[in-house]
Structure 1
């Protein structure tokens, strides 16, 4: 059983709705509330910054992990509790052995390679600004490689993930 199932701690969106904020309860103003906005945990930047080499040296995350845990502990102690927590900005600065960066926001498929790192932009589930279909990208990570493929929503619904990708996920 996952933590979400056990304690209902994590909320998931379904049917374009987040059940943490039911429409019947949220239609009318019920008074002031607050939320917490955090930004830029940027794992790896503190070492890179301290060594003066921001293009490298992001292979240690201990300080950022400690600070993020401190933030979570402080927020969990608050009374009354915040309505929700939003984390924005740069989540990581560097990751040891990073081979690919996956992003969106361009609303079409794109990408390239920069200094032996693949940059992969996935098209949108929603509004398309190019000729790509509405879809998602399936990314399979093994010890040796990263393989990714864009699927239209229709393809994924009708056929699922292709056999060669499924084979990569089998334990060896």
Structure 2
């Protein structure tokens, strides 16, 4: 947040006390949610410091300390972002990430819902690790084939960089994927029955539809680049539909009101 305020992404990253307080607030809010979340996913940029920059290890250490307070019955799901791997990842930065946080792409099932976690940096710029990009491509095709074969009710993707921010045909920029890659993935996801893609990266809330696929872009617990508040997105999955709404951390502190609001959202849809 300081780096954005002073306009210096590198040298401005020497303070993160405010982010720690916000993350502590988020953890407290998550722990008191009723019903208890099936898991808590962080959609990338776990820390600000890019690979090889000062303060990175200290930021990782402090974040892990805060996340230790998440209720152990609520699993943590980590998604790799550009600050975690670098804008152009290398085999070394990916290996370092995996050592710190776990696999950079993987899948899991919960309650009959199929979840895929992707390393979107390989789609943004995989020029320095083409073999790793190819390996993820092969794996993704296999996983989407499973989703299509089993005709699962819902398949959901998590990745850091959004496929698009508002419209599937919008121009390519820093905050979305290049058009040809975007449409290739959108078609693959749609064919396999993926119903939603959840991303971060933009530091604003955004999103749109591609056919029946919901592209959901959530703002951050930390630095805001727009008018949104520090917050989290709650998601509920029923047999028929996926519901979601972004809440500020202050709103989340009142779990009874959140439950009431979310039930109203589901009834309206």
TM-score interval, normalised by the smaller of the two chains: 0.3 to 0.5
Higher relative contact order (CA 8 A, sep 6+): 2
| Structure ranking higher in strand proportion | 1
The structure richer in helix per residue is 2
Structure with max Cα Rg: 1
TM-score (norm 1): 0.48
Q: Scaled by the length of structure 2, what TM-score is found?
A: 0.32
